[in-house]
Amino acid sequence: MKGFGKAVLGKPGFVDLLVMAVIILVVFPLALDIFRLNLMGKYLTFAYCAVGLVMLWGYGGILSLGQGIFFGIGGYCMAMFLKLEASDPVSTAHQTTPGIPDFMDWNQVTQLPLFWEPFHSFIFTLFAIVVIPALTAYVIGVSMFKRRVSGVYFSIITQAIAAIVTILVVGQQGFTGGINGITDLKTLHGWDINTDSAKYILYFVNGVLLILSVILGKVVLSTKLGRLLLALRDKEDRVRFSGYDVSSYKVFVFCLAAVVSSVGGAMFTLQVGFMSPSIIGIVPSIEMVIFAAVGGRMSLVGAVYGALLVNYGKTAFSETFPTLWLFFMGFLFVGVVMMFPEGLSGLYKTYVEPRQRRWMMKVKGGKGIPEQLNENARV
Amino acid sequence: MDGYSLSDLFSILVMQGFSGLSLFSVLLLMALGLAIIFGQMGVINMAHGEFMTIGAYTIYMTSRFTERHFPSFMPYYFIVAILASFLIAFFVGYLLEFLLIRHLYKRPLDTLLATWGLSLILQQVFRSFFGAREVSATLPDWLMGAWKPTPDIDIPLNGLFVMAMSMLVTAMVGLFLFKSKWGLKVRATTQNRVMASAVGINTKMVDRVTFAIGCGIAGVAGACFTTIASTGPTSGSLYIVDTFLVVVFGGTASLFGTIASAFTIAQAQSILTFFLTNAMGKVVTLLTIIAILMMRPEGLLRSKVRR
């Protein structure tokens, strides 16, 4: 736990983390009704992807346009488990083949496909949510990074993979629920997930897991690995010539980002009650990048705010001005990249922090955080 | 494969092969522009599909205009309209390079995001101007109908036209790059930017013109596209992933590689589509491409420039 203490406690970044935790776990539940809170919970599940992208893109310089795939893996694993529980032989007695999910029955599938079988077990499902994305990312990562596919090439290929996965999921309607996805999810081990109390509990589980993911990210990035990632983002060849196996570091961070996204996907399914291909394709995947970009690509905490803000904006805009939403999103992409490449956290660092430091100097009588240390410490 | 006699199979192969050729033509035109831009500036233009849509809507507008005001000009308007779609896409590209892209040359990944934003904006602009419904231009009579070499084989004339068009444009791009003075500058900049500017080439201007020409070619792709399908605000984005793969697969900065990879991808897709389902044909093609790319990350033909 030495690394944990060093990375999290006692650093200026700790305050940011604490503020975020208070906002998520105290302010939101007190200020919002259950409907809005559930919505916030949904936005927070996208924050997992943004957190993963900060590690992957902000630090590693690897822009994956396919994070939706991993979000989808987690989401679909959870949805498959919940769907199997919802389609017990009693409640599906009216079907041609009782005991299989309804969409399979509609698509003339008469037997549960083999890859669905293990999802009867909750333990296996939890295991799958972590292991499958890690394996997928490992395979993709090894085959690309070992071959030194990087930069724009990597982005394009991950985007193509996202396209393939979406086409597959939509096309194999009998096995995946097609374009509608997996819907009508009701219970988790007999616990109704659609009641208000369940929604509260799931929100808190989600929030805690997200904060844990951010802490995990902070720990990982504060180690030597984090510094190596930065180094290889800026001058990959020099890191390689210094004797480091660059591709392994890239593979590791890609897998880590994948697992974090997948957990987010699973929480999405639990809170929203369905999973569909519209959340995993090219467009949502690239939107996840903008969450990270708005929050600040170098700030894990910022990514969470970015995801909240953009998604909130999306809901608010599409409720009142549906046609303006795409304009807003478009200008957000252009504006963030052109004017605020460091996102919200960059603005915070330039405008708020110096004041804060001056204020602390005044309070403590000249014993504020020295500028130099502060810059280095922030993860 | 039973049920098909040998001559049936042959006709299917010819017709699917031909529809593959139409797809090839559109992909090639799209990829040409993207490949020159990517080869020279290392920038991936996510809004490239929208430039194609600009071209397609230009054709639609000119066809409406001609129909209303100069009906007698109908048989010929298409040629003028293709020129117009090149020019309009060219100028929009020129403007955008000036306003946006040139600030981002040093950050290729950021360009990707910014141009994605641009494509969202453009799509919404199309939607507000032309409506969400798909429109199609009235084609001149000589583009309608089909050529029947045997009773079983139907080859649509518009497909032939699109093919001829893309061959023509490719040849012109080849001439431009390898025979003209501007092309010399473009190639010099692509190979070694610093040395090129040291010998007095205005590389910024070359960048701008190259970008605009790439967009213009996408406009022509859009013009061809209208002859085989109807145009909607998101038509261009349907092709964008395929186009990227064509460029990456072909190897950058290689005209011939782009042609070869556009051909392979289009043919594989349209022939597989017939024997498998539509979705599976596409999945198999894309997966194969990605697998090949993993073995040869530089694409089919690598450029011989030392980095």
Best B101, B123, B269, B294 member to test A by mutation, with max A CBs in 10 Å, is: B294
Interface check A171 vs B, CB under 8 A: yes
For residue B127, the chain A residues in CB contact (below 8 A) are 323, 326
Phi, psi of A188 (to 5 degrees): -120, 110
Domains identified in chain A, total number: 1
Q: Does residue A378 have a pLDDT over 50? A: no
**Amino acid identity at B182:** W
Task: Give pLDDT, residue B302.
Answer: 59
Q: For residues A360 and B226, which has the higher predicted lDDT (pLDDT)? A: B226
The reply to whether A366 falls in a domain is no
Chain B contact for A201, CB < 8 A?
no
Tell me the mean pLDDT in the region A258-264.
95
Going by pLDDT thresholds of 50, 70 and 90, the confidence category of residue A375 is very low
A129 at interface of B, judged by CB pairs closer than 8 A: no
In the three-class reduction of DSSP (H, G, I as helix; E, B as strand; rest coil), residue A298 is classed as coil
* Residue A193 placed within a domain: yes
Lowest mean pLDDT among A113-117, A157-161, B14-18, B202-206: B14-18
- How far is the alpha carbon of A325 from chain B, nearest alpha carbon, in Å? 9
**Taking CB atoms and an 8 Å limit, are B42 and A152 in contact across chains?**
yes
CB contact under 8 A, A332 and B117: yes
- Greatest distance between any 2 Cα atoms in chain A: 78
Residue A133 near residue A259 (C-beta atoms within 8 A): yes
Q: Is residue A26 less than 8 Å (CB to CB) from chain B?
A: no
B4-40 pLDDT per residue, tens: 677 777 777 777 777 778 888 888 888 888 888 888 8
Which residue of chain A is at minimal alpha-carbon distance from B283? Answer: A164
**Residue B230 pLDDT > 70:** yes
Closest CA to A74 of A254, A212, A215, A279: A279
Above 70 in pLDDT, residue B2? Answer: no
Q: Which of A149, A153, A160 minimises the CB distance to B241?
A: A160
Q: Where are the domains of chain B?
A: 16-239
- For residue A191, the surrounding DSSP H or E stretch is strand A191-192
Query: What is the rounded CA–CA span in Å between residue A325 and residue A328?
Result: 5
At A6, the pLDDT band (50, 70, 90 cuts) reads: low
With CB atoms and an 8 Å threshold, state whether A163 touches B123: no
Digit-coded pLDDT (tens) for B277-287: 777 878 888 88
**A320-342 pLDDT, tens digit each:** 887 788 888 888 888 888 888 88
Residue A207 lies in a domain: yes
- Is residue A360 in some structural domain? no
Helix (H, G, I), strand (E, B) or coil at B42: coil
User: To which H or E segment does residue A192 belong?
Assistant: strand A191-192
For A218-253, what is each residue's pLDDT tens digit?
A: 999 988 998 999 998 888 889 999 999 999 999 999
Residue B302 makes CB contacts below 8 A (sequence gap 6+) with B251, B254
Mean pLDDT of chain A: 85
How far apart are alpha carbons B164 and B175 in whole angstroms? 16
A14 interfaces chain B, CB cutoff of 8 Å: no
What is the bridge-based pairing of β-strands A187-188 and A191-192? antiparallel
Q: Residue B300's pLDDT is what?
A: 65
Whether the per-residue pLDDT at A374 is higher than 70: the answer is no
Q: Is the pLDDT of residue A366 over 60?
A: no
- DSSP string over A148-171: T--HHHHHHHHHHHHHHHHHHHHH
pLDDT digits (tens, 9 = 90+) for A54-109: 999 999 989 999 999 999 999 999 999 999 888 888 777 788 888 788 888 888 88
Domain assignment present for A355: no
Please give, rounded to a whole number of angstroms, the shortest distance from the CA of B279 to a CA of chain A. Answer: 6
**CA atoms of A217 and A95, how far apart (whole Å):** 47
How many Å apart are CA A198 and CA A213, to the nearest integer?
A: 22
A329 touches chain B (CB under 8 A): yes
Kindly tell me the burial class for residue A5, based on how many C-beta atoms sit within 10 Å of its own C-beta (0-12, 13-18, 19 or more): exposed
Structural domain contains residue A104: yes
Q: Decide if A168 touches B, using CB distance below 8 A.
A: yes
User: Distance (Å) from the C-alpha of residue A366 to the closest C-alpha of chain B?
Assistant: 40
ipTM of predicted assembly, 2 dp: 0.83
Convert A4-49 into a string of H (helix), E (strand) and C (coil).
Answer: HHHHHCCCHHHHHHHHHHHHHHHHHHHHCCHHHHHHHHHHHHHHHH
Question: Is the pLDDT higher at A346 or at A6?
Answer: A346
pLDDT-derived band at B294, boundaries 50, 70, 90: confident
What is the per-residue pLDDT for A268?
A: 94
- Mean pLDDT of the region A202-219: 93
CB contact under 8 A, A330 and B108: no
Q: What are phi and psi of B137, to 5 degrees?
A: -80, 150
Domain containing A164: what range?
2-280
The B residues from 267 to 306 touching A (CB cutoff 8 Å) are 277, 279-280, 282-283, 286-287, 289-290, 293-295, 297
Q: Which of B110, B120, B295 sits opposite A330 (nearest CB)?
A: B120
- Residue A187's H or E segment, with its range, is strand A187-188
Q: Of the candidates B118, B280, B283, which has its C-beta nearest A330's C-beta? A: B118
Task: Flag whether residue A179 sits within 8 Å of chain B, measured between CB atoms.
Answer: no
Closest residue, chain B, to A331 (C-alpha): B117
- How far does B77 lie from chain A, in Å, by closest CA? 34
The region of weakest confidence among A13-17, B149-153, B171-175 is B149-153
The SS3 call for residue B231 is strand
Region B113-136: mean pLDDT is 86
Residue A364 lies in a domain: no
